[in-house]
Amino acid sequence: MSNITDALYSAFQKNLEAVNGSCVRVSKAGLGKAVADIFQGAGVRDACLAETPLLREAGVADALRAAGIEVFSDHIRLHQETVRGGVSENQYAIAELGTLVQAHDGVDERIAATASEFYVGVVRGSAVVEQYDDMFDLLCGLPELPNFVGFMTGPSRTADIECVTTVGVHGPIQLAAVVVDDE
């Protein structure tokens, strides 16, 4: 059973979609297929995968390969410039903003999230908090702060001095979140 309420998920989904991201909610058993479907729908044929126990148990790499998507999970740095897709697990999410939060010591997760053209961020339903302030309360309560904490709210956007918006300069052009119901 999920630890995320329907209302909290709906708020997260609505706010992520408001910044041009997309979102689906699945069981752990459906995670691999969901990621493969997202990439297939976008024409992504290769992806860097920063494996975690959740992604491994859900068979994400196998599902991607079965869908004809080439998977790189070793030496992600060597493949980042040529691979279109990236997948990693996010430790938290903020419903109020539609934001994915990475809080860890690993580098591969960051590369998969920021160097790919299309990023799929996976987050457990129980790790979605309601408000921005809740996230900081949670981080402050950790026994030790990780080496990296990053917030991703939708695809990367930036603008020059003439206010010309460009997408994908400092991160992915497309972003999808997959919220996994806790069992």
Domains of the chain by range and CATH?
Answer: 6-180 (3.40.50.10420)
Stated pTM of the model? 0.90
State whether residue 163 is helix, strand or coil. coil
What per-residue confidence (pLDDT) applies to 164? 57
Between the CA atoms of 10, 13, 18 and 23, what dihedral angle is there, to the nearest 10 degrees? -150
What per-residue confidence (pLDDT) applies to 120? 97
**Whole-number Å distance between alpha carbons of 164 and 23:** 27
Beta strands across the sheet bearing 148-152: 128-129, 92-94, 99-104, 148-152
**pLDDT tens digits, 60-117:** 999 999 999 999 998 888 888 889 999 999 999 999 999 999 999 988 888 888 888 8
